[in-house]
């Protein structure tokens, strides 16, 4: 395993470069059994969110694993519909109690805008960020992060906040490289992490990807993850298959050469994009989150 060094409130800490994604994808839910299997496979970093409904399963699996809590990097995210100071503080407490932990390693603002077309998204975002800063200053979370932030969203936090995000988790994979956002993050010392790092397996029939995979004797998924990591981006692939869980961790024993990196960079931008834009309109069903 390789690691990304993040600057936390109490000093630097190391986050595994490959974490385990826990969003419930169509092929199966991430439940206790899957989370336990991921720990057995070697995952020590879990990407979670209140929206995913996986915090309880992840927390239970970690608590029952016999592996010390401090060996894990555990994250969660406040959802769009819980933004604003008090709603965010309440959402954090609910998340923490579902995990059964007394701190989180990273707490994210999941998306920069709380509602499509909302006029005062900047005010709501700053109130939300203020709540995260309170949690950070109180030692409830080691470091703060954001997800799906473009430069203009990040600029707002950097200008008005007193704690800077250490990580921006965005969609990134061959065919969706987000160059402008990555350049901005690099210039401001913000690490970038890929969600959907395998493009949900949809690049299996891409000729460039399958040719490179055959040349290295690995899978297209491993090529995608290796490309992400060699592009300076850590990854949180999700799998419900023990075999693919292990495969997705096994990306540090081969290296893509510059021609291979270039061939993957040449895959047209927008290929296998999820269609979710931080500033765009969303299907209504994706926005709602029931508060328990």
193 touches ligand NAP (CB under 6 A): no
Q: Which is nearer to ligand NAP, 81 or 248 (by Cβ)? A: 248
- 216: annotated binding-site residue? no
Distant-in-sequence, close-in-space partners of 247: CB < 8 Å, separation ≥ 6: 219, 221, 222
Indicate the burial class of 171 (C-beta count within 10 angstroms; 0-12, 13-18, 19 or more). Answer: buried
The mark string for 205-234 relative to ligand NAP (x by CB under 6 A, - otherwise) is --------------x-x-------------
Candidate list 51, 52, 107, 114, residue with the active-site label: 52
Q: Which is nearer to ligand NAP, 122 or 202 (by Cβ)? A: 202
52 flagged as catalytic: yes
Q: Is the dihedral of CA 243, 249, 253, 256 positive or negative?
A: positive
238 touches ligand NAP (CB under 6 A): yes
244 touches ligand NAP (CB under 6 A): yes
Q: What is the spatial distance between Cα 196 and Cα 215, in angstroms, rounded to a whole number?
A: 24
Using CB under 6 A, which residues numbered 31 to 70 contact ligand NAP? 47
What CA–CA distances, in Å, run from 71 to 15, 16, 32, 168? Answer: 10, 10, 19, 22
Among 241, 254, 262, 286, binds ligand NAP (CB under 6 A): 241
Strands (E), 205-275: 233-235
Size of the site for ligand NAP (CB under 6 A): 29
Among 195, 213, 234, 263, binds ligand NAP (CB under 6 A): 195
Q: Which span sits near ligand NAP by CB under 6 A: 7-15, 17-25, 88-96, 133-141?
A: 17-25
Indicate the burial class of 219 (C-beta count within 10 angstroms; 0-12, 13-18, 19 or more). Answer: buried
Q: How far apart are the first and last CA of the chain?
A: 37
Q: Which is nearer to ligand NAP, 11 or 170 (by Cβ)? A: 170
257 touches ligand NAP (CB under 6 A): no
The mark string for 157-176 relative to ligand NAP (x by CB under 6 A, - otherwise) is ------------x-------
Nearest to 18 by CA among 264, 272, 274, 252: 252
Dihedral, CA of residue 71, residue 169, residue 236 and residue 18, to nearest 10: -50
21 touches ligand NAP (CB under 6 A): yes
Q: What is the spatial distance between Cα 44 and Cα 31, in angstroms, rounded to a whole number?
A: 16
- Residue positions forming the annotated binding site for substrate: 110
Query: What residues act catalytically?
Result: 52
């Amino acid at each position: 395993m390789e690691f990304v060094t993040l600057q936390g409130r109490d000093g630097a800490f190391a986050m595994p470069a490959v974490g385990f994604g826990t969003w419930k994808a169509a092929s199966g839910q991430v439940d206790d059994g899957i989370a336990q299997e991921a720990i057995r496979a070697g995952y020590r970093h879990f990407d979670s969110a209140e929206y995913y409904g996986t915090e309880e399963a992840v927390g239970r699996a970690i608590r029952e694993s016999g592996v010390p809590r401090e060996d894990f990097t555990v994250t969660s995210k406040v959802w769009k519909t819980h933004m604003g100071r008090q709603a965010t503080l309440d959402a954090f407490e609910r998340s923490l109690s579902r995990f059964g932990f007394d701190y989180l390693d990273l707490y994210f603002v999941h998306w920069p805008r709380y509602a499509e077309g909302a006029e005062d998204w900047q005010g709501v975002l700053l109130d939300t960020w203020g709540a995260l800063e309170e949690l950070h200053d109180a030692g409830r979370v080691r470091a703060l992060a954001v997800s799906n932030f473009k430069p203009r969203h990040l600029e707002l936090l950097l200008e008005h906040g007193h704690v800077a995000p250490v990580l921006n988790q965005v969609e990134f994979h061959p065919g969706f490289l987000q160059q402008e956002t990555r350049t901005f993050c690099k210039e401001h010392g913000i690490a970038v992490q890929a969600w959907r790092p395998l493009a949900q397996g949809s690049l299996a029939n891409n000729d460039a990807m399958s040719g490179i995979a055959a040349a290295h004797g690995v899978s297209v998924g491993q090529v995608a993850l290796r490309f992400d990591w060699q592009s300076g981006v850590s990854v949180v692939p999700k799998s419900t298959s023990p075999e693919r869980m292990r495969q997705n961790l096994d990306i540090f024993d081969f290296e893509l050469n510059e021609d291979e990196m270039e061939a993957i960079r040449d895959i047209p931008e927008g290929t296998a994009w999820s269609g979710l834009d931080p500033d765009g309109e969303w299907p209504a069903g994706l926005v709602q989150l029931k508060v328990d």
